[in-house]
C-alpha cells in the first residue's frame, strides 16, 4: 500500500497511561507515558521532536480530550477515531499492538477522524450540556416534591398544573412553616387559581408529619439553588451566543424549535454546514437516520445507529413539540407516522426531518418556509380522489366529480 504520511503517531489512550507508537522512515518507536499534564506535555514534545505531522487516537470516553487540547495548540493534525473502524483485526489485544496498528493504518491513510469542533464551540457545548443536566435535575426534584406531598395526602398537583407556580409556592412554604388549615392555605391562591378555592381546600386537607415538612424545605431549597445556577449558565451562554443571533433567529422559524432548543442544536453542530457534504451526512453523524442492514436481498432491522446523544435527545424533544403545533407540515407528518408506527418512531422520523431543515436553513441562510398541513394531500391529490371514489362506489353510490373553478 502507498504511504500517505511518512511521519505519524498512534496513541492508545487509557485513564492512567498513554501508549504511543511513532513510525518514521528511520523506523518504529514505542513509549508509554502517564496522563498527568507534565507527562502529556512530554508526550507532545516527543511527537514534535520526531517530526510527526499526523496523530491518531481512539475516542476513549473523555480521556482523549487533554491530549487533543495539547496537540491542537501545537497545530498537529489529530484524528480521533471510532474504535469500530480499526479494531476488526483479530489478535491485537495489547496496548503496544493497538498503538502500532493505529500508527500503521494512519500512515497509509486508512483512518477517518471524527468531527471535533473548534475550542470555542467545545466550550459552548460543555456549558449547554451542563445546563441541560441541571434542568433535568430540577425536573426530578419537582417530581420528588410532588411525591412527598402525595405521601402526606395533599393532592395539590390534582388541582394546580404547576405546583411551583406563584400560588403553589406560597402554599408549600406555608405548609413548611407549620400551617395546616386548608381554608387558610387555599386563601393563598392567586390569579385564576382563586376560582378553584373549593377544590383547593379539599386537596390541601392532609396528614403531614415533621419529617415531610423537613423534606419539603430541603427539596425547595435545592430547587432554588438549581434555578440560580441555571440562570447563571443562561447568562454565560447568552453572551457566547451573541455572534450567532442570526442563526438563532433562522432556527426559531422552524415549528417546535424555541430559543433554548436552538442554542442546544447550534452548540452541537455549529453554524458552518460546509463540514457536512450533505444533509444526509449530518443526519448520519447525529444518529438520526435509518441503519442499513441487508443480507441475501432481505431488509433486516433498520434501527437508527449510534450518534450524538445530546443532539438526538433535543431533536426528539423538538419533534414532539412540533407534533403538538396546529396546521403545520411537521405536525401532519408526525401524526401520519404515529398512526402507523407509533409515537416514538414518529418522533425520530420528524426529528430527522427537522435536522435536514436545520441543515438547509443554516447553509442557505434563509428562514423556514411552511408547507402547510395539507402538503401530503396536495402531493398525492389524484390518488386520494381515486381511493375516495372507489370507496364510495364499493358502498353502492354512483359518483360523479366536478372541479370547483372558484
The CATH classification number of 8-107 equals 3.30.420.40
Q: What is the mean pLDDT of residues 341-370?
A: 95
pLDDT of residue 305 exceeding 90, the answer is no
Q: What is the mean pLDDT of residues 62-81?
A: 92
The structural architecture, per CATH, of the domain 120-240 is Orthogonal Bundle (1.10)
pLDDT of residue 91 exceeding 60, the answer is no
**Domain segments of the chain: what residues?**
8-107, 120-240, 244-292+302-364
pLDDT of residue 277 exceeding 80, the answer is yes
- Which residues neighbour 299 within 8 Å (Cβ) at sequence distance 6 or greater? 293
Instruction: Check if the beta carbon of residue 260 is closer than 8 Å to that of residue 313.
Output: no
Cα within 13 Å of Cα(100), Cβ side: 13
Q: Supply the pLDDT for residue 363.
A: 95
pLDDT of residue 87 exceeding 80, the answer is no
37-51, 56-70, 99-113, 283-297: least confident range:
283-297
Q: Supply the pLDDT for residue 89.
A: 56
Q: Supply the pLDDT for residue 386.
A: 87
- Which residues neighbour 266 within 8 Å (Cβ) at sequence distance 6 or greater? 241, 244, 247, 248, 251
Q: Supply the pLDDT for residue 206.
A: 85
Instruction: Check if the beta carbon of residue 141 is closer than 8 Å to that of residue 223.
Output: yes
Grid cell, residue 111, equals 483512518
DSSP state of 328: -
What pLDDT band is residue 260 in, cutting at 50, 70 and 90? very high
Same fold, 8-107 and 120-240: no
**Average pLDDT score over the chain:** 90
Q: What is the pTM of this model?
A: 0.84
Q: Supply the pLDDT for residue 124.
A: 95
DSSP state of 177: T
Hey, what's the torsion of the CAs at 169, 173, 175, 181, to 10 degrees? Answer: -70
pLDDT of residue 86 exceeding 80, the answer is no
pLDDT of residue 301 exceeding 70, the answer is no
Burial (0-12, 13-18, 19+ Cβ within 10 Å), 283? buried
Burial (0-12, 13-18, 19+ Cβ within 10 Å), 354? buried
pLDDT 10s digits, 8-29: 999 999 999 999 999 999 899 9
Q: Supply the pLDDT for residue 290.
A: 75
Amino acid at each position: 500500500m502507498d504511504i500517505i504520511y511518512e511521519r505519524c503517531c498512534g496513541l492508545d489512550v487509557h485513564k492512567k497511561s498513554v501508549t504511543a507508537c511513532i513510525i518514521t522512515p528511520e523506523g518504529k518507536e514505542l513509549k508509554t507515558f502517564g496522563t498527568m499534564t507534565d507527562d502529556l506535555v512530554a508526550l507532545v514534545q516527543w511527537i514534535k521532536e520526531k517530526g510527526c505531522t499526523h496523530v491518531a487516537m481512539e475516542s476513549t470516553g473523555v480521556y482523549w480530550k487533554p491530549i487533543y487540547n495539547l496537540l491542537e495548540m501545537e497545530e498537529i493534525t489529530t484524528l480521533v477515531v471510532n474504535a469500530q473502524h480499526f479494531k476488526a483485526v483479530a489478535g491485537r489485544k495489547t496496548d503496544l499492538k493497538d498503538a502500532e496498528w493505529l500508527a500503521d493504518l494512519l500512515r497509509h491513510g486508512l483512518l477517518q477522524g471524527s468531527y471535533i469542533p473548534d475550542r470555542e464551540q467545545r466550550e459552548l457545548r460543555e456549558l449547554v450540556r451542563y445546563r441541560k443536566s441541571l434542568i433535568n435535575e430540577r425536573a426530578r426534584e419537582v417530581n420528588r416534591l410532588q411525591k412527598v406531598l402525595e405521601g402526606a395526602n395533599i393532592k395539590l398537583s390534582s388541582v394546580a398544573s404547576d405546583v411551583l407556580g406563584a400560588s403553589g409556592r406560597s402554599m408549600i412554604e406555608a405548609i413548611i412553616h407549620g400551617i395546616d388549615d386548608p381554608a387558610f392555605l387555599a386563601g393563598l391562591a392567586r390569579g385564576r387559581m382563586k376560582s378553584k378555592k373549593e377544590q383547593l381546600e379539599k386537596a390541601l386537607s392532609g396528614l403531614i408529619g415533621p419529617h415531610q415538612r423537613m423534606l419539603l424545605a430541603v427539596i425547595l431549597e435545592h430547587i432554588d439553588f438549581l434555578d440560580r445556577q441555571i440562570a447563571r449558565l443562561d447568562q454565560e451562554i447568552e453572551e457566547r451566543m451573541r455572534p450567532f443571533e442570526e442563526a438563532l433567529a433562522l432556527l426559531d422559524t422552524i415549528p417546535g424549535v424555541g430559543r433554548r432548543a436552538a442554542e442546544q442544536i447550534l452548540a452541537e453542530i455549529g453554524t458552518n454546514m460546509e463540514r457536512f457534504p450533505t444533509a444526509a451526512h449530518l443526519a448520519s453523524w447525529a444518529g438520526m437516520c435509518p441503519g442499513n442492514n441487508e443480507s441475501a436481498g432481505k431488509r433486516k432491522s433498520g434501527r437508527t445507529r449510534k450518534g450524538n446523544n445530546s443532539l438526538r435527545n433535543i431533536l426528539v424533544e423538538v419533534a414532539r413539540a412540533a407534533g403538538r403545533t396546529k396546521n403545520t407540515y411537521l405536525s401532519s407528518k408526525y401524526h401520519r407516522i404515529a398512526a402507523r408506527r407509533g409515537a416514538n418512531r414518529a418522533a425520530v422520523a420528524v426529528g430527522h426531518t427537522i435536522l435536514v431543515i436545520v441543515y438547509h436553513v443554516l447553509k442557505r441562510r434563509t428562514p423556514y418556509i411552511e408547507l402547510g398541513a395539507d402538503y401530503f394531500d396536495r402531493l398525492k391529490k389524484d390518488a386520494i380522489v381515486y381511493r375516495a371514489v372507489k370507496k364510495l362506489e364499493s358502498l353502492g353510490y354512483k359518483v360523479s366529480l366536478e372541479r370547483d373553478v372558484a
